[in-house]
Amino acid sequence: MWLPAVPLLVLVACGGEGGPLRIGLAGPFSQQRGESMRLAAELAAREINAAGGVQGRPIELVFLDDSAATERAIQVAREFYAMPDVYAVVGHLTSGTTMAAAPIYNAGPSPLIEISPSASSPRATQNAPYTFRVCPTDLRHGVRLAEWARQRLNAESAAILYLNDEYGRGVRQVFASSFRELGGRIVTDDPYLPDLPSFLPYLERLRGEGGADVVMIAGTRAGAERILPALRAAGISAQVIGGDGLSGLEASDSVDASGVLISTAYLPDRTGERNAAFVAAYRAANSDRMPDHRGAGAYDIIHLLARGLAAVGPDRGKLRDWLAGVGTATPAYDGVTGTIAFDAQRDVPDKDVVIGVARDRRLVSADR
């Protein structure tokens, strides 16, 4: 059900039975990639509260911005941990921040659930019983990108540009090994940091090597917005592909991303009535903007946590155990991103990724 967009009030204190049930959200909300997560979470909370809340108690969201920085993520985790009436945290958004914060959430006398919509490093949930995710891992993204390049594009050679962080290294490693296993050749394989002055030296070296059929970007939208014009300046016309960190590139005002292929755990044109209703409500509430995988994942998580709170009540430990049993002790959750069923590692191994293509400023299924 869609309701008009209204701001969610965050109260300073809320105790006692019948008061709000508080859920934390941790992400880079001052950045474009965190905005969809925030807007979708707010939509989910409005829907739950309009339907009567959780056994008569409203859901209240508490936002803390981690700036996608590991040091800030640790501080955010400490702040949330110290709030006894916060029963779970949706976040963090990136693999690096999720892993940096995990030791805080998973320690001490009252561990706190950390459930990420998009942290894809295979290591993100290791040795962290209170850390979950609802997205596929880099293993899926890297493999699907390699398969698409070799089997759908008939690419024989690839160049890789990867952000030198947990996410970029993860996607790059799996793509490179899978592409080689499928008979492809890696021409160049270069790391970069956000403050790299220019990509032209990398690309001129690639051109000197004879170019490549595809250029795979394992990084973020911000990096891709600089790489695309640099490719054109270097006279390289290779097909550009990339991981889900590039989501949002399709709507960029600074570059034309038409034709770029991006792997993602979710696309708004996913079939099904539940997703169609979510997309319609999100667009109606947000000036016709489309949700991305981060937003869709956060939306599913809020609804899933509300279901858990209704089942076991506001208790961190009981809620964690209930979540761990989703798909085994209790039925799997049918969300807008697909079926959520956790394994012993608190991952969703049955979820796959799809390949989208940037077209008319939107990311749509490349299979259609």
The predicted-structure confidence for 230-269, as pLDDT tens digits, reads as follows 999 999 999 999 999 999 999 999 999 999 999 999 999 9
For residue 12, the 8-state DSSP code is S
* Domain-located, residue 318: yes
Residues 282 and 260 in one domain: no
Residues 157 and 189 in one domain: yes
% of the chain exceeding 70 in pLDDT: 95
Final residue belonging to a domain, choices 233, 249, 264: 264
- Cα(55)–Cα(281) distance, rounded to whole angstroms? 24
* Domain-located, residue 9: no
Residues 251 and 286 in one domain: no
Is residue 207 classed exposed, middle or buried when 0-12, 13-18 and 19+ CB atoms within 10 A define those classes? middle
* Domain-located, residue 336: yes
* Domain-located, residue 366: no
Provide mean pLDDT across the span 134-148: 96
- What is the value of pTM for the model shown? 0.89
Tokens of 247: 């989501």
Q: Angle of helix 32-50 relative to helix 273-285, nearest 10 degrees? A: 110
Provide mean pLDDT across the span 154-179: 97
Q: How many alpha carbons lie under 13 Å from residue 167 in its C-beta half-sphere?
A: 25
What pLDDT score was predicted for residue 18?
77
Return the bridge partners of 197, or none: none
Q: How many alpha carbons lie under 13 Å from residue 18 in its C-beta half-sphere?
A: 0
Residues 249 and 308 in one domain: no
Residue 368 banded pLDDT, cuts 50, 70, 90: confident
Domain span at residue 57 reads 21-136+270-350
- CA distances 323 to 35, 127, 230, 306, Å, are 26, 17, 45, 11
* Domain-located, residue 200: yes
* Domain-located, residue 356: no
Q: Is the bond into 92 cis (omega within 30 degrees of 0)?
A: yes
What pLDDT score was predicted for residue 3?
31
| Pick from 119, 126, 82: nearest CA to 98 | 119
Give me the residue label for tokens 């990724």.
Answer: 353
Average pLDDT, the chain: 94
- Cα(87)–Cα(22) distance, rounded to whole angstroms? 6
Tokens of 274: 């539940």
Residues 279 and 238 in one domain: no
Torsion of CA 172, 69, 335, 317, to 10 degrees: 120
What total of structural domains would you count in the chain? 2
Q: Is the pLDDT of residue 5 over 70?
A: no
What pLDDT score was predicted for residue 17?
66
Check: CB of residue 223 under 8 Å from CB of residue 163.
yes
Give me the residue label for tokens 């155990």.
Answer: 321
Q: Checking DSSP bridges between strand 239-242 and strand 338-340, what pairing results, if any?
A: unpaired
Residues 87 and 99 in one domain: yes
What pLDDT score was predicted for residue 186?
98
Q: How many CB atoms lie within 10 A of CB 360?
A: 8
